[in-house]
Amino acid sequence: MNQPEEDIRMIWEGKTLRVTRLEGGVAELCFDRYGQTVNALDRAALTELAAALDALYAADDIRGLIVTSAKDSFIVGADIFEFSRTFRLPEAELRAWDAACSTIFTRLEDVPYPSVSAINGVALGGGLELALTSDFRVIATTAQVGLPEVSLGIVPGFGGTVRLPRIAGVAVALDWIISADARTATAAKEAGVVDVVCEPPSLRSRALSCLREAIDRPDAWAPRRRARLAPFEVSVDALERGRAAARRYGQHFPAAAAAVELIGDAASMAREGALEIEADTFAKLAKTQAAASLAGIFVNEQALKRKSRDAARAARPVHRAAVLGAGIMGGGIAYQSALRGTPIIMKDIAQAALDLGVREAAKLLKKRVSSGKVSDYEAREIEQSIVPTLDFEDIDSVDLVIEAVVENIGVKRDVLAEVEQRIPSDAVLASNTSSLSIAELSTALARPERFAGMHFFNPVPQMPLVEVIRAPRTSPQTIATVVNFARSMGKTPVVVADCPGFLVNRILTAYIVAFLLLVRDGVDFVAIDAAMEAFGWPMGPAYLQDVVGMDTASHVIDVISGGYRPRMDFAGQHAVKLMAAAGRLGQKRELGFYRYLRDERGRMQKLVADDTHELLRTIQPSGIRELQAEDIVQRMMLPMVIEAARCLEEGIAESAGDIDMSLVLGVGFPRHLGGALRYADSLGARWIVDACERLAHVGPLYEPSPGLRSMAEHNGRFFDERG
């Protein structure tokens, strides 16, 4: 009996890929993960690729290989969800795993006939590394390629650091690997990374044509392959430029600098020796705190995106919105809504505030035009979708209203009660507040189930986080609607429960109170700032108070710390309140902990203020005290860890990942640590509890939460092995 034609054509088939025989002795390796919309190089795919190569090497009469994808993208890269577990392997096992994966790619590169990759869509990380094993690369105009590994704290580990410089030159390789950016098809062609760019409908035919030409002309592909196996020339200047670019990542992110040295060291080696060095470097970097944290951040981001997509299914559509309260904040909210396609009314009771909001939106749009992100025409369309008004005209046509007036509970209650009477009964009402109780604000409303908090961080266009605050009577649909609207604005929403300071400012207040206690105990605020900036914070706590403004900061500290007595109590006058009383309000008055002057470009320059230490001595009863940087860090960070743990235990946020992402996105928590709770895992609960006991004399701020004590007893963690 004759075999069916499809059985004769099929060389190997699995759940993630297949190999088929085409006309003219061509084999096609097609990635087509069953039941998924994208291809990823997880353990299952790599195992199947190894088996498919066995079958391919054993097949008769194959003269060429085309590598394709049946999905809209090519291969999106390695499965980062597996990284957290993989990175916990001992270094020797991790290196062996990477070397084994790299060997599979080497076997693909070494097939005894020419090969072409047809890149139809996104090919990132391992996806591009796989394409680099081919002798030729044909790419669709809509595709993007890149090596983003450095942004995850590692280097390409499947041969990317070895093949890319041999294909496109060391300057291109260093630029692509260090920047970690995705590149367009045109940019890839100009860089010499791909050979042919074509429109998507002709991709397959162009790739097959390229392959058949190579089959007929061994001189067209054999020299290319020999070049990928051999050493290459590398200039000292190129390496120095790479080192300069890598330094921008800072000391806590070693991957970029390691990539430069790896490529420089491997240049004089043949492929096998270079791959050995790559595996060594990959394994060492994968064991760093930065790699574990950055992989964890990626996983947390994906989890938040899933939650936002789920919310969209339950949300009420928002076709038009309104913001009450203009100025810088209201103008920023209106701009962000309009920019992302939702028309918005911007209302205020004062013309000056309304004018300021309009100017703020116009200024932000002008910046986008100058940077080429929008055209003049698009900017005018966006600006026209913001309707400034001094009255409530057309407010009855909106689906969602954001109240963003002054941070005063009485004023907010009055405004919310008035606007509720003017909007449709099924519209959602949200308050942008950083510290006031959503439950208390809702007492002025007839429909509290349609009310939630929506806390934007300042400046609105730059800060990605929005806290969506759920009060006891807020309905699930209201939360879903606010989450979906925040997502539509290009923000990352995190749902939190109502409590003083909500999530981010509550945890940050514990950190600031720790700073105030250090200053009270005589520690130099300049030394505190230096220690925390070296630790990875974008600015130290004293500098942060100057930026926020001492009057605002003092009010927030008092309101939030008052909700967590006695642990956040501060007996006597603290440094921020002292500064505010002295009129030293920070940058807005050009004097706070530091003195400020504007340079010729109008940027604030921080300078030493000679009289600050003298002023602070009035609230330092025990005089001046020196502490080592590591002791300062411990006293500053432990209260954050404890408060973050309490928030998780109390259900303020849904998960440890939500808490960590909120801190990373909301206050610039050092990314190389991944967030307060991932940082806690790196320290260990037992170590944290012991350190807190050593600091118990400082005050109740250092009292471990019940959950932390339990974790210390049972060797527990906030994150399991999956991230």
pLDDT tens digits for 136-194?
A: 999 999 999 999 999 999 999 999 999 999 999 999 999 999 999 999 999 999 999 99
Cα separation of 30 and 391, whole Å?
Answer: 61
Given a cut of 60, is residue 316 above it in pLDDT? yes
Q: Which of 48, 47, 65 is nearest to 12 (CA)?
A: 48
Phi, psi torsion values for 167, nearest 5 degrees = -90, -45
Could you identify the residue written with the tokens 């060594």?
280
Given a cut of 90, is residue 508 above it in pLDDT? yes
- Strand 465-470 and strand 492-497: pairing? parallel
Q: Greater confidence, 111 or 78?
A: 111
Q: What pLDDT does 33 receive?
A: 96
Kind and range of the H or E run holding 604: strand 604-607
Cα separation of 419 and 436, whole Å?
Answer: 19
User: Considering just the CA atoms, what is the radius of gyration of the chain in Å?
Assistant: 29
- Strand 451-456 and strand 465-470: pairing? antiparallel
Cα separation of the two ends of the chain: 53
Q: What percent of the chain has pLDDT over 90?
A: 93
256: burial class by Cβ within 10 Å (0-12, 13-18, 19+)? Answer: buried
Cα separation of 616 and 579, whole Å?
Answer: 9
Given a cut of 80, is residue 291 above it in pLDDT? yes
With bands split at pLDDT 50, 70 and 90, how would you rate the model's confidence at 721?
Answer: low
Cα separation of 650 and 634, whole Å?
Answer: 24
Q: What pLDDT does 2 receive?
A: 44
Q: What pLDDT does 8 receive?
A: 60
Tell me the mean pLDDT in the region 389-401.
Answer: 94
Q: What pLDDT does 3 receive?
A: 43
Would you give the distance in Å from CA 146 to the centre of its chain?
17
Q: How far is CA 330 from CA 333, 337, 347, in A?
A: 5, 11, 9
Could you identify the residue written with the tokens 């009057």?
551
Angle (nearest 5°) at CA 140 between 136 and 146: 70
Q: Which of 17, 20, 24, 61 is nearest to 211 (CA)?
A: 24
* 647-683 pLDDT, tens digit each: 999 999 999 999 999 999 999 999 999 999 999 999 9
Contact 427, 401 (CB under 8 A): yes
With bands split at pLDDT 50, 70 and 90, how would you rate the model's confidence at 431?
Answer: very high
Beta bridge pairs of residue 13: 18
Q: 620's torsion region: left (phi>0), alpha (psi -120 to 50) or beta?
A: beta
User: Which of 4-8, 289-293, 529-533 is the least confident region?
Assistant: 4-8
With bands split at pLDDT 50, 70 and 90, how would you rate the model's confidence at 723?
Answer: very low
Given a cut of 50, is residue 6 above it in pLDDT? no
Given a cut of 60, is residue 722 above it in pLDDT? no
Cα separation of 115 and 136, whole Å?
Answer: 7
41: burial class by Cβ within 10 Å (0-12, 13-18, 19+)? Answer: buried
Tell me the mean pLDDT in the region 24-32.
Answer: 97
Q: Which of 436, 499, 497, 441 is nearest to 470 (CA)?
A: 497
Given a cut of 50, is residue 5 above it in pLDDT? no
3-state SS, residue 400: strand
Alpha helix (H) residue ranges in 345-437: 351-370, 376-384, 409-420
Contact 458, 627 (CB under 8 A): no
Cα separation of 639 and 655, whole Å?
Answer: 19
Cα separation of 360 and 328, whole Å?
Answer: 6
Q: What pLDDT does 220 receive?
A: 87
Q: Residue 213 is encoded by which pair of tokens? A: 């030409």
Contact 488, 473 (CB under 8 A): no
Residues 6+ apart with CB under 8 A from 640: 507, 508, 510, 511, 514, 663, 676
Cβ atoms within 10 A of the Cβ of 51, count?
Answer: 15
Given a cut of 50, is residue 500 above it in pLDDT? yes
Cβ atoms within 10 A of the Cβ of 186, count?
Answer: 12
With bands split at pLDDT 50, 70 and 90, how would you rate the model's confidence at 7?
Answer: low
Residue type at position 116 = V
Q: Supply the mean pLDDT for the chain.
A: 95
With bands split at pLDDT 50, 70 and 90, how would you rate the model's confidence at 570?
Answer: confident
Domains of the chain in start order, with CATH, are 5-287 (3.90.226.10), 318-498 (3.40.50.720), 505-714 (1.10.1040.50)
Active site residue 714: no
Q: What pLDDT does 159 receive?
A: 97
With bands split at pLDDT 50, 70 and 90, how would you rate the model's confidence at 602?
Answer: confident
* Predicted TM-score of the model (pTM): 0.92
Contact 68, 204 (CB under 8 A): yes
Q: Which residue in 455, 555, 613, 672 is the catalytic one?
A: 455
Angle between helices 685-694 and 706-714 (to 10 degrees): 130
Q: Residue 431 is encoded by which pair of tokens? A: 């308050």
Greatest pairwise CA separation for the chain in angstroms: 100
Given a cut of 80, is residue 233 above it in pLDDT? yes
